[in-house]
Structure 1
Amino acid sequence: MDWFAFTVSLKGVFLEGVEIVFIVITFGTSAHNVPVAAGTAAAAAVCVAVAGYFAHRPLSRIPENTLKYGVGLLLAAFGTYWAVAGLGVFTPDGASIVWFGHDWAIPVLIAAWFAVSRLLIRVAPAVARRPDRTPPNEFEGAP
């Protein structure tokens, strides 16, 4: 067993679990009904476990890097959507920004991040192969 990978994975899952606990407590407290929030979180955990059980075999056929790439695109798109929507600093009254097309902006963001990532995948190797053109600093070659 690869103990390093196991430890890193366990810490990541634990961190996500702690994050979910804080989210449930926050929503439950703001709604003045923590038991309903906790029950809903438990129901969501059961739904995720059942979905994971049924999706495990089909997802195991997808190459790992392709799956990571897709998850990265989704995280970048949703993160962009929520971060910009939550920024009230751009409006005079401090209200959240409304995306053009509302939730339909998310597929557009996925496509945009896909295009940017494909461009970077094509450009990055060429940039990495260029010779270093920075002048040597005064400490290079010092004894």
Structure 2
Amino acid sequence: MKRNRTAIFASLVLLFLAACTSATKTASQDVAAARAEVQKVLDEQANCWSRGDLECYMQGYWKSDSLLFVGSKGLTYGWQQTLDNYKRSYPDASAMGKLSFDLKEMRELSPDAILVVGKWHLKREAAKGDLEGHFSVIFKRFADGWKIVADHSS
């Protein structure tokens, strides 16, 4: 009887460990998939910007009055206001230049939130001069995909 209990206990421990390993792999796969989706959003934003298409670029942002953007001029709330500010600051494709991101860090804050920290660079005509700075954005997972809910760019 004691041998049966030991065998049953050992079997349960092995099943538990297998389940934990499987859950860890699944969680790691979920994080990797989320990071890849966030990277895809940023890549698409860079492509849209570089084509001079601000409306396309803004698709990476949460379309809400609660969107938060922090820039050199202070706080901006709202998707539309953020788009309007971009249009004023970058009135045409030559002012916009070609955008690239150099991601420095990506941290999962929760299963539905990711912090991205990096450097942005605008390659522009010599007369306009290149621009660059750093950014931190918080992405949130929505039913229609990952969107930026807060952006701090300098």
Greater RCO structure (CA 8 Å; 6+ sep): 2
Instruction: Tell me which protein shows more strand as a share of its residues.
Output: 2
Instruction: Tell me which protein shows more helix as a share of its residues.
Output: 1
Q: TM-score, normalised by structure 2?
A: 0.27
Q: TM-score, normalised by structure 1?
A: 0.29
